[in-house]
Structure 1
Amino acid sequence: MRLSILLTAASCALLLGGSGCQRNVAVTTPTDAPQTGNVNGVSSTPAPTSANTIEPTPQPDATFDDRKRPQWLNDRIQHHLSEKKQNPPVQIMSYQYNGGLVYYEIMGCCDQYTTLYSSTGKVLCHPDGGLTGRGDGQCTDFAKARTEERLVWQDPR
């Protein structure tokens, strides 16, 4: 056992040119935070090169479509107001789609279907949402074919 320690010390001296092995050397690891500034002294995050490209969602004081709403839609809005507020807030948009006026209801968070209603209140399809985010597959062209977008209502709470 003692012989192996001596050989190790001797081989260390040979490798380091006879200066002997250093002991109690402080070693920092990559997980240690730098003492000042960044690790390399230069900011690693580049400055933004363009303006924000994300369109903000309408604010609660947004201008709503002022056309007369059908009674079934007013009832639907009252239903939403009687429920707990969702985050993000429920929105109802109107569009022209397949030659007629439709209403697109965007529910709050997480895996909920959006619903597309005819002007008479009949459910046409669920264009998106659900576990896959692709809706029920009944109106896959809705996102491309819709026109004349108007905000009809957004939960103001």
Structure 2
Amino acid sequence: MRLFLSVAVTSLAVFLSTACNRGVTVNTPTDPPVTGNVNGTDTPNPTSTNTTDLRPPRATAFDTTSRPGWLEARIQSHLAEPKQNPAVQVSRYLYKGKVVYYETLGCCDQFSNLYDAKGKLICHPEGGLTGRGDGQCPDFDKNKTGELLVWRDPR
């Protein structure tokens, strides 16, 4: 047993002493640029604007000036329920020459709702098992104009 331990310790010592002498070097990309000037022309200027903004988003300004009473009640009912993911939001559009309100609901096959200015449900443009809504207003996405975010669940 002693012989085994001494051979093991000797082998380990030889391994460690040769492993450190293998001449391994670590290189980092700190070479100077080709021109020798850090501010040189080696890195071209971007050709387009940035598509990613890493700044935190500003608080969204909602249109609260002309919310009908039925919509305020609807918003309060959403706030009384647990927050959905994605968050519920309401946008105002012009559709077929009239003001409409488009309400997106949370996840998983739920219908979105399209209301007229008086709060009457017109159709479900999206959602359901097919994701295409109830088929009553298939042209909504193509013909809506004047989008204005009215409310998004802030929780």
Give the corresponding residue for 1:131. Answer: 129
Report the Cα offset of residue 122 of structure 1: 0.1
Counterpart of 1:134 in 2: which secondary structure? Answer: coil
Runs of 4 or more, structure 1, over 3 Å off, are: 50-54
Paired residues for 1:1-157 under 5 Å: 61-157=59-155
Superposition TM-score, scaled by structure 1 size: 0.62
How big is each residue's C-alpha offset from its partner over 1:29-64, in whole Å with a ceiling of 9 and x where there is no partner?
xxxxxxxxxxxxxxxxxxxxx98879xxxx682111
Separation in 1, partners of 2:93, 2:126: 16
The answer to whether the 8 A contact 1:60-1:155 is kept is: no
Paired letter, 1:83: E
State the Cα RMSD in Å: 2.1
**Which consecutive unaligned segments of at least 5 residues does structure 1 have?**
1-49
Bigger drift between 84-93 and 59-68 goes to 59-68
TM-score scaled to structure 2, two decimals? 0.63
Amino acid at match of 2:124: H
Structure 2 residues not aligned, in runs of 5+: 1-47
Identity %: 60
CA distance in 2, matches of 1:123, 1:142: 14
**Residues 122 and 91 from structure 1, CA distance in 2 versus in 1: closer, same or farther, beyond 3 angstroms?**
same
Aligned counterparts of 1:135 and 1:52: Cα–Cα separation in 2: 35
Counterpart Cα distance in 2 of 1:108 and 1:80: 11
Q: Alpha-carbon deviation of 1:68?
A: 1.7
Partner SS state of residue 108, structure 1: coil
